[in-house]
Amino acid sequence: MRKDISLIGVPMDLGQMRRGVDMGPSAIRYAGVVERLERLHYDIDDLGDIEITRPTREETANDENLKNLEKVSEASEKLAATVDKVIQNGRFPLVLGGDHSIAIGSLAGIAKNYKNLGVIWYDAHGDLNTPDTSPSGNIHGMPLAASLGLGHKRLTHIAGYSPKIKPEHIVLIGARALDDGEKELIKELGVKVYTMHEIDRLGMTKVMEETISYLKKKTDGVHLSLDLDGLDPHDAPGVGTPVLGGISYRESHLAMEMLEEAKLITSAEFVEVNPILDDKNKTASVAVALMGSLFGEKLL
């Protein structure tokens, strides 16, 4: 991994309906992310937060089955431009969320710099809904679909091109809450998925070995999109859509350690930290600890 990291905060809560996740970047900074990575001898440039504009009442009324579409799209364009510039400057973009809709902007900016970008989607959910399949209209359930070119043009064409990624370059890890439309799409596109059943049955070591081997053969860069609700709520309670029976804290450290050893990850984001729903900033601290493992922190 590059030793120069640029932090980008995205205080976004417009992709879902529970307030508080916009404070995620601040909570992660408060949990000591800069100090932890500096101890690992990285050069950290904290670029601050992307400005998020809240929608007017009229805009909200016109959203139909895409809540806060215009403002999510605007923020995505800003994030895409920022991330692209970070990569052009030879630095590693580390994005702090904010709800998972921010991945639309992250992937738009990152994929411009790779011919075949791979994505590890570490999440309880597939985030593969479109306006036609979404039960809620919440855009944080759509970023992976939008990045594949599926959905509303205001989301699929961020940064002026579509699609950003290919279905055969995605690995979804930790899935345990998929909507019917997402299940159909996964089968149709052949997206590689490790549900909690596979993680329990194979073990995290095997899952990560297979993931690393699969993506190394196909891609020239890999983005890690880690939703804290991929972990079990016991270990990461401060998330908006917790799902019981998730990946453990220790399994997640192992996954991050194996990714670091493989030198696979070229960009990353940690999302859905909601300090209002948290217990003494536990979830932000977990996020920072996992970042430590991803960037090479060792016990000995």
Name the residues annotated as catalytic.
100, 123, 125, 127, 140, 227, 229, 272
Task: Give how far Cα 1 sits from Cα of 32, 66, 160, 247, 290, Å.
Answer: 21, 36, 28, 25, 15
What does the block give as tokens for 163?
Answer: 């699609």
**Phi-psi category of residue 277: left, alpha or beta, with phi > 0 → left and psi -120 to 50 → alpha:** alpha
Contact 258, 6 (CB under 8 A): no
Quick one: how far is CA 18 from the chain centroid? 18
Q: Phi and psi (nearest 5°) for 63?
A: -80, -20
CB atoms inside a 10 Å sphere around CB 218? 12
CB 101 within 8 A of CB 140: yes
Please classify residue 287 by burial: count the beta carbons closer than 10 Å to its beta carbon, then call 0-12 exposed, 13-18 middle and 19+ buried.
Answer: buried
**3-state secondary structure at position 148:** coil
